[in-house]
Structure 1
Amino acid sequence: MKSLLLPPHTMRVETYTPSHAATWDALVATSANGPFLFARSFMDYHQDRFTDHSWLLWQGTKLRAIFAAAVARDTLAPATLVAHPGLTYGGLVTVPGVKYAELVVMLDLLRAAWQAAGFQQLLIKPVPRVFSRQPSESLLFWLHQQGAVLQARELIAVLDLTQPIRIGTWRRGNLRKARRHGVVVQQATGHDYAPYWQLLTANLLTTYGCQPVHTLAEISGLRDRNPGHLELWVAYVGEEMVAGVLVFQDVRQGFAHTQYIAGSPRGKQVGAVDAILAHLIREKSAGFKRLSFGTSTKQDTGLVNAGLLNQKEGFGAATEVLDTYLLPLRVAE
């Protein structure tokens, strides 16, 4: 489908270079669907692992959209453009008010640029609704129209903070347990990050046999370069740290998101994680519309982690989907 109202020649595509960083960030900061993770202060922290292949879409002198994508330096599929291999999601971010006809022009121009750059397919996980100030599924419709194939579908648990919260019986029991054991929840200071990362690493190794995606140095750097967007909340029993939850948040886009959740063996016994999550619900209800508890599907199988999802649903969360699509980049006939 080609442009309905907007002549294609009025818009142009440009490859991103570091000289565009300020312009790129300005669009993200005022966009309809660009969380702070698209800011270059966040995206570029792992630029040694990826070759950036992002794009800008201009109409005259006005930047109308950006497309975040890259290719891993150690990839076995260099002809696959990924949006984005270093982020949970990627792809198209637009200014508010973009209509479908304009979006089609953007995507047609982008596809031609991808083909010219030698890419044979696009692997894309679009920005989910929960992280968008003005959610739109126009991109999903375009992908379907172009023959994109659904590669993966994950469940993400989302709590609507604008509605009354109904906490389930089991979670309420854990909260009473936390109170009985004197669990204290507080926002972390810089000194809390190292012991929490030790707790988190031990928990992941014991439970899943893996390590955190981010190192302590990386997460500390991201916190410092993106002030106000990363918070760590921890639970103590006396002097012992027993649980923690790392929060990524974006006031403009309207969400807070729990990225890392972990409890020590004692923390699990006393309901410390539930105490933090309940505190976050109260804390974030004042300034945010949505609280994301993250995905509840296993990366290796795509199956639901029933226990994890049950915990999130116990706080009143509902499920949404996070999709990944593969689009062949055929030469236009």
Structure 2
Amino acid sequence: MLLPHTIRVEAYTPSHAAAWDALVATSANGPFLFARPFMDYHQDRFIDQSWLIWQGTKLRAIFVAAVARDTTTPTTLVAHPGLTYGGLVTVAGVKYAELVIMLDLLRSAWCTAGFQQLLVRPVPRVFCRLHSESFPFWLHQQGAVLSNRELISVVDLSQPVRIGTWRRGNLRKARRHGVVVQQASVQEYAAFWQLLTANLLATYNCQPVHTLAEISGLRDQNPGHLELWVAYVGEEMVAGVLVFQDIRQGFAHTQYIAGSPRGKQVGAVDAVLTHLIQEKPASFKRLSFGTSTKQGTGTVNAGLLNQKEGFGATTEVLDTYLLDLGNS
């Protein structure tokens, strides 16, 4: 049985970057988005408040968290305000009793640092090589409340995927119009970003979360983890899907999906997504289509969810917990 004094917690500093990245690269549930080359690109907007958990000289876990620089609630630790999720990442084989010691020490450190609440979205099942519910159970035991629940659409690539009738109709349409799907070159990102921006402005009156410069930097600093797949009719780019992927954790995730007006008419988006479903199983176990709920409300976007289910996706949950650090 591990004794509490054999484990210690320490606030993250840039001097820990190499040890941090080594743990993420070998962890049970740490996707590449937690590596410092990805996390640090938006450090101008967030104050890193992450933690390391050591057992002697061995790094056993990290806690991914930050506080937004423009926050109105500086005493709330968020895991993570710049990412879809965050929180506890461990090496494989951590037992529940050990995890409780780690989290109890973290809680004490958070309180000492002046935090009064923890707002956390644990890493969802789809993004984990080895998924565990130990952390959510600890949160429940500590009196945390479930403050929000969203739906994630996931395709199990290890099983035969059945494409729905409507989607198959769009694929036939794409073939009739000569839609060609291919992996994009670096030079094609700019054309896709123009297409994506126009699509978001017309549909939702908003801009992409990332700028072209940011996404290009993330691609270059995280080699192999970002791929762009595009569809053409002749010389015209009519659709594209930007994928975040982590071969070790076993997932690919559609970060951005867009089609031009012509692309939507000829079923080009469906052609790209079907190509991904057929192309990825050799290397990945799961394909995430992201959430189908309006952020922060839990309201289901029925049309979007139906589209994803047409590709054989089933639903998993992305939960957010709020823990009052003054209560135990």
Match of 1:117 among 101, 113, 119: 113
State the match for 1:127 in structure 2: 123
Larger deviation, residues 5-14 vs 229-238: 5-14
Unaligned runs of 5+ in 2: none
Q: Distance in 1 between matches of 2:88 and 2:53?
A: 10
Structure 1 Cα separation of the partners of residues 61 and 298 of structure 2:
32
Distance (Å, rounded) in 2 between the aligned partners of 1:178 and 1:55: 49
Q: Residue 235 of structure 1: which of 231, 234, 245 is its match?
A: 231
2:284 maps to which of 283, 288, 297: 288
Cross-structure match for 1:158: 154
Three-state SS of the structure 2 residue aligned to 1:268 is helix
Q: Which secondary structure state, in structure 1, belongs to the residue aligned with residue 105 of structure 2?
A: helix
1:259 pairs, out of 255, 259, 267, with 255
Flag structure 1 segments of 5+ consecutive residues without an equivalent: none
Residues 53 and 61 of structure 2 are in contact (CA less than 8 Å); yes or no, is this contact kept in structure 1?
Answer: yes
CA distance in 2, matches of 1:331, 1:236: 57
How large is the RMSD of aligned CA atoms in angstroms?
A: 0.9
SS of the residue 2:282 aligns to: coil
Give the direction of change, closer, same or farther, for the CA distance of 1:60–1:300 in structure 2 (3 Å limit).
Answer: closer
In structure 1, the residue matched to 2:39 is 43
Q: SS of 2:140's equivalent?
A: helix
Deviations 1:31-61 (A, max 9, x none): 0000000000000000010110000000000
Q: Which one of the candidate residues 46, 52, 69 is aligned to 2:65?
A: 69
Q: What's 1:193 paired with?
A: 189
Where do 1:1-333 residues align within 5 Å? 5-299=1-295, 301-330=297-326
CA shift for structure 1 position 293: 0.7
Contact 2:148 2:297 in 1 (8 A): no
Q: Percent identity?
A: 84
Give 1:118 deviation, angstroms: 0.1
Deviations 1:122-149 (A, max 9, x none): 0000000000000001111111111111
Q: Residue type matched to 1:43 in 2?
A: M
Provide the rounded CA distance (Å) in 2 between the counterparts of 1:31 and 1:58: 14
Q: Give the superposition deviation at 1:302.
A: 2.3
Q: 2:139, 2:212 → 1: CA distance? A: 37
Answer whether contact 1:162 1:289 (CA < 8 A) is retained.
Answer: yes
Contact 1:166–1:315 (8 Å) recurs in 2:
yes
Mapped partners of 1:224, 1:258: distance in 2: 18
Q: Is the 8 A contact 2:241 2:256 kept in 1?
A: yes
Letter in 1 for 2:58: K
Letter in structure 2 aligned against 1:138: S
Deviation per CA, 1:241-293: give whole Å up to 9, x if none.
Answer: 11110000000000000000011111111000000000001110111000101
Secondary structure at the aligned position of 2:163 is classed as coil
TM-score when normalising by structure 2:
0.99
Q: Give, in whole Å, the separation in 2 of the partners of 1:138 and 1:331.
A: 20
1 CA distance for matches of 2:251 and 2:270? 19
Aligned amino acid, residue 117 of structure 1: A
Q: Is the CA contact 1:153–1:322 (under 8 Å) kept in the aligned structure 2?
A: yes
Cα distance between partner residues in 1 of 2:146 and 2:74 = 20
The 8 Å contact of residues 115 and 331 in structure 1, kept in 2 or not, is answered as no
1:57 and 1:63 in contact (8 A); partners too:
yes
Once the 2 structures are TM-superposed, how far is the Cα of residue 202 of structure 1 from its aligned partner? 1.0
User: What is the CA–CA distance in structure 2 between the aligned matches of 1:276 and 1:173, rounded to whole Å?
Assistant: 14
CA distance in 2, matches of 1:293, 1:97: 29
Distance in structure 2 (CA, Å) of the matches to 1:149 and 1:6: 29
TM-superposed CA distance for 1:331, in Å, is 6.2
- The structural deviation recorded for 1:206 is 1.1
Q: CA deviation at 1:300?
A: 5.4
Equivalenced residues, count = 328
CA contact (8 A) 2:28 2:92 kept: yes
For residues 69 and 231 of structure 2, the distance between their equivalents in structure 1, rounded to whole angstroms, comes to 39
TM-score scaled by structure 1? Answer: 0.97
Quote the Cα distance in structure 2 between the aligned partners of 1:207 and 1:325. 31
Could you tell me whether the CA contact under 8 Å between 1:130 and 1:290 is conserved in 2?
yes
Amino acid at match of 2:159: Q
For residue 112 of structure 1, report the CA deviation from its aligned partner: 0.2
Per-residue deviation at 1:210?
1.1
CA distance in 1, matches of 2:296, 2:282: 37
The answer on whether the counterparts of 1:12 and 1:58 sit within 8 Å (CA) in structure 2 is yes
Q: Offset of 1:208 from its aligned partner?
A: 1.1
